Structure 1
Amino acid sequence: MKVSDYIADFIARQGVKKIFMLSGSGSVYLDDSIAGKNLDFICVRNEATAPMMAESYARLTGKLGVACITSGPGGTNAVSGLSEAWVDSAPVLVISGQVDKKHTCHKANIKNLRSLGIQEIDIIPIVNSLTKYAQMVEDPDSIRYHLEKAVYLAKSGRPGPVWLDIPLDVQSSIIDEKMLEGWNPEASEKDLDKNKLKEAVMLLAESKRPLIIAGQGIRIAKSLDEFKNLIEKLKIPVILSRLGQDMLPFSYRYNLGHGGMKGLRYTKLIMSKSDLILSLGSRLAVPFVSDALSESAKIIMVDIDEAELKKPSIRVDLQINSDVKEFIEGLLKEDVKVDASDWLKDCQGYKESYPLAGPARNPIDLYYFVSRLDALSKENSVFVSDAGSSYYVTGQALRFEKGQREITSGAFASMGLAIPLAIGSASADPSRQILAITGDGSLELNIQELKTMSSCGLDIKLFVINNGGYVSIRNTQDALCGGRHVGSGQAEGLNFKKIADAFELPYESIQNYEEVDGKITEILNKKGPVFIEVVSDNCQKIIEPIKQI
């Protein structure tokens, strides 16, 4: 059996339904085996987007995402997508082709040798800091070992990407699969510290204004049901991180919505008044907690990644390095006495006092548009948002009352991810309708993938916010730089109808708030991809959280 065939079979055994790839001479055997084994694949237009699509596939399914790319510039192109999977904790396997071993810088082992073979670069040192495991496979008989180790590490603990670099002469080598040695993981998961669990129980009992901050680690740990049971047991309010905001419907009485620097209006106020923070599956990122917490508040942080507990940006009184599922299950078994009924009423009062309602006016207010799209969306739809205004407004306006999900760039809030994340999401579950919202600035960063979207016939409705480009950057420059606009001035404007036509996408436009509901309903009932231009306010202001009233 050829090594490339073994790799394709191994991927199929992982339950992977879609591979994201761009064929190249350095990965020719890998590409051929993927096609020959009848694995379903999507060919991207730029390797940068292959790991992005694999990431959204992994985050939506909870399974492994796979990208296959060629050598040299194919690998370096993919680094930006790899970094997204790294910071947003997605289990992605990137397999790169490579030139024959004798033509690699790695094999030559000459200091400062930059490139040797055709389109060759030593990719492993480049990706080491962005992966949980990265290795060039030099011995064909070690392929099972490296694949098993890579996939285990990608999915265990805090998930993340892994990378295997396969030279051409290894790809084409013949092996006896029955003679291959596998990899056996050592027991590495830490048991829950029962003393720290008891201390958490004591702190909860002493608190008067406890608050749970919950992140996507809960979903990753497959502990959503246990988390909901814990909320009902403790009866204390919850604020959600950006990547965790789709875990609970907004109408749920304990859910206060999305927090952080661009969270809902009242969330920073509540966070500042809380005397105890119980963080579950959230890394308590700088933009989430910066100047929001009281200096006297006790902070309990449960995180499977020990590094997050040690970072200098947050003072943690009780560090619990544990799988969040194990901690929640342990807490459910404890006799926890918490009396936060008055505090809960206060929090619910803030929630009711600051409703989010964008005005029905022209030019179209982005909060109004996103609220209507959310209300009219179908059950189990997937929202995908891009950077800037699209990112901030969806973070505040989506309500998730019908089992919808959201896939977005969490840690980076990067421009240009909406289209590749939408394609990965649509590939993960074709039964879900994908509602992607991007800006006229972000659109251009990965505009080439519109062809992937159209050629695959995916059920993606892409709403392009036409607000003159870079509104959120202009707002920041107005606030901090005296209104000097550097590289963010209103663009001359793209002809979106021509763009849609060029990529063979049906085109629609929404230019008046009075037609929003009717047009959205009509568009969501169409089959296949649609490109929709939404002409909105080019002076759109983003609602900022308040810390005091």
Structure 2
Amino acid sequence: MILTGSDIVIKSIIDEGVDLVFGYPGGQVINLYDSLYKYQDEIKHVLTCHEQGAAHAADGYARATGKVGVCIATSGPGATNLVTGIATAYMDSIPLVAITGNVPMNLLGKDSFQEVDITGITMPITKHNYIVKDVNKLQDVISEAFYIAREGRPGPVLIDIPKNIQIEKTEYKKKTPLSIGRKEFTIKEEKIEQAIELINKAKKPFIYVGGGAVIAGCSSEVLALAEKINAPICSSLMGIGVVPKDHRLYTGMIGMHGTKASNISATKSDLFIALGARFSDRVVASGEYLSNAKILHIDVDPAEVNKNVKVDLSVIGDLKSVLERIIPKVKENKNEEWLKNAEHLKSLSAYKKDEEKELTPEYFFEVLNSLDDGNLIISTEVGQHQMWTAQYFNFRKPRTFISSGGLGTMGFGLGASIGAQFGKPGSKVVNIAGDGSFMMNCQELATAVKNNLPVVVVVMNNNVLGMVRQWQTLFFDGRYSHTTLDRETDLVKLAEAFGATGYRVVERNQLKGVLAKALNSKGPVLIDYRIDYDKKVFPMVAPGAPINQIICEEDI
């Protein structure tokens, strides 16, 4: 079958199982959009308000479903507007394929209108990228791009297609997607045996799960190992949901805003088992805190081993495959004294019922948890509200926490919530935002309205850039340089202007009724939830300090 390059692009992504893409048209992708029109019965296109919103929506879709997210943008500013979204996906290992148009090949390198070297720009933030200069190679490039995005440690891939390649014609033959095996043969048996020996000798094992455990889909294996050796389990921000929050062995998040139970247990353990985690600076701070423990690191990416923390043993391979081989040979161990110690620390970290009269984040999540039917997906922007969400919401399963961890992208959550809602239409997506983050990409409310998505946006409105203000309070003697917003924006009216429903909550007795109505709404809702500008996130570890040097609210 002879097709144009643009038809081949759309047919090829359909062959990869893609039935939904996010994007924004422009001059150098008109041909691609003409092909999208032609194949609209086979693939849905969601028009966002901004290309960054398209990238974040594709990312949120991928996080919620485990599938590859796809976004499309034109050349020049259209392509550069994707960059923040691509970098966000790269830092969190999210499978994404970004397709951009470019000027015709005879105009490349001539500073043509809306020409930019997007492959050069995105080289550091993609697993791989391409500029396609031969229409005969286009189909193979697309097939390979999807394979690379999915295999091993996932990540974003960019395909840049000059306009003349979209117009030229060549033969198209339907292809089966390149298969991805679990690559068990790459796992060294010697390493497996050494890992088993370390685990069997440990008297105070502690398990640390990261985003890799979500990607590998190995929640049951993580719990099987933990329960067999009675090891407490903590998680990074990206690992939230791998273990149900109410599980007896779960001690909570570890790191800068981690629980006392997790941070102190890490310093007292004799074996620290890292599963699909990369020891980021927000977790390790000072690596010396693990000096009393041997470290076993299991990960699919060898580049992460010994990068931030020197480990005693690493096992490289698919995490699920590795655990399946380790668990049967690990000896059962009650580790009663060690478990008692962890349980005592958990009691010190336990959430105390909020008895204050004003609106607080704790009270909000107390009410949200009471209304959760187990069907909620929570997305966030970045800041204090992100940490409160991680600390207080009762996550029970993976792929229900959609948040920018590595890059920390303000403006991520709303677009991501739209993508997650499209990916999981049977669920309800709640996006927790701060007023600073929300205003960065608030225009995507129009996208939610146009598609009648039942997304709920909750703005923790404190009229400040809360996390930066908190640092200014603690470490800069209260010099609040440009973190007080003093904006007159009426968020309820703004929501209504976009066509969404808006509510304002200023008293506790309003919240439950408003939240119940929002969760039962068939379309998008915004809740303006007013909190005090000096509300802080605790516990906290100062940047660069050992994680057992914990600052609590009572210390201030």
TM over 0.5: yes
Whole-angstrom distance in 2 between the partners of 1:427 and 1:242: 24
Deviations 1:309-355 (A, max 9, x none): 131x2121112222211210110231435442221122122212321
Corresponding letter in the other structure for 2:548? K
Whole-angstrom distance in 2 between the partners of 1:379 and 1:184: 33
Q: Say if 2:147 and 2:178, in contact at 8 Å, map to a contact too.
A: no
1:19 aligned onto 2:21: yes
Whole-angstrom distance in 2 between the partners of 1:26 and 1:404: 35
Corresponding letter in the other structure for 2:19? K
1:467 aligned onto 2:462: yes
Aligned residue number for residue 56 of structure 2: 52
Match of 1:302 among 293, 298, 301: 298
Cα offset, 1:384, TM superposition: 0.7
Cα offset, 1:413, TM superposition: 2.3
SS in 2 for 1:169: helix
Cα offset, 1:244, TM superposition: 1.4
Q: Say if 2:503 and 2:527, in contact at 8 Å, map to a contact too.
A: yes
SS in 2 for 1:157: coil
Corresponding letter in the other structure for 1:135? Y
Aligned residue number for residue 365 of structure 1: 360
Whole-angstrom distance in 2 between the partners of 1:430 and 1:497: 25
Count of residue correspondences: 539
Whole-angstrom distance in 2 between the partners of 1:530 and 1:539: 26
Whole-angstrom distance in 2 between the partners of 1:236 and 1:199: 18
Comparing 483-492 and 329-338, the one that deviates more: 329-338
The Cα RMSD (Å) is: 2.2
Q: Say if 1:57 and 1:428, in contact at 8 Å, map to a contact too.
A: yes
Aligned residue number for residue 137 of structure 1: 132
Match of 1:33 among 25, 32, 35: 35
Whole-angstrom distance in 2 between the partners of 1:185 and 1:541: 45
Q: Say if 1:14 and 1:64, in contact at 8 Å, map to a contact too.
A: no
Q: Say if 1:430 and 1:459, in contact at 8 Å, map to a contact too.
A: no
Q: Say if 1:17 and 1:428, in contact at 8 Å, map to a contact too.
A: no
Q: Structure 1: which 5+ runs fail to align?
A: 106-114
Instruction: Give the % identical residues.
Output: 30
Match of 2:215 among 220, 232, 236: 220
Deviations 1:46-99 (A, max 9, x none): 112222111111111111110011001111111111000100101100010111
Deviations 1:427-469 (A, max 9, x none): 1111110111101111111122111111111110101111112
SS in 2 for 1:489: coil
Deviations 1:186-206 (A, max 9, x none): 998761122122111222222
Which runs of structure 2 are paired with 1:237-256 in the superposition (5 Å)? 237-256=232-251
Corresponding letter in the other structure for 2:375? N
Deviations 1:402-444 (A, max 9, x none): 8881100011222111111111111111111011110111111
Which runs of structure 2 are paired with 1:32-181 in the superposition (5 Å)? 32-38=34-40, 39-105=43-109, 116-178=111-173
Aligned residue number for residue 453 of structure 1: 448
Summarize the Cα distance change of 1:443–1:415 in structure 2 as closer, same or farther, 3 Å threshold: same
Deviations 1:87-142 (A, max 9, x none): 0101100010111110012xxxxxxxxx5222111211111111111111110010
Aligned residue number for residue 342 of structure 2: 347
Deviations 1:143-164 (A, max 9, x none): 1211111111110010000011
Aligned residue number for residue 499 of structure 1: 494
Summarize the Cα distance change of 1:361–1:55 in structure 2 as closer, same or farther, 3 Å threshold: same
SS in 1 for 2:260: coil
Q: Say if 2:492 and 2:527, in contact at 8 Å, map to a contact too.
A: no
SS in 1 for 2:251: strand
Q: Structure 2: which 5+ runs fail to align?
A: 541-546, 551-556
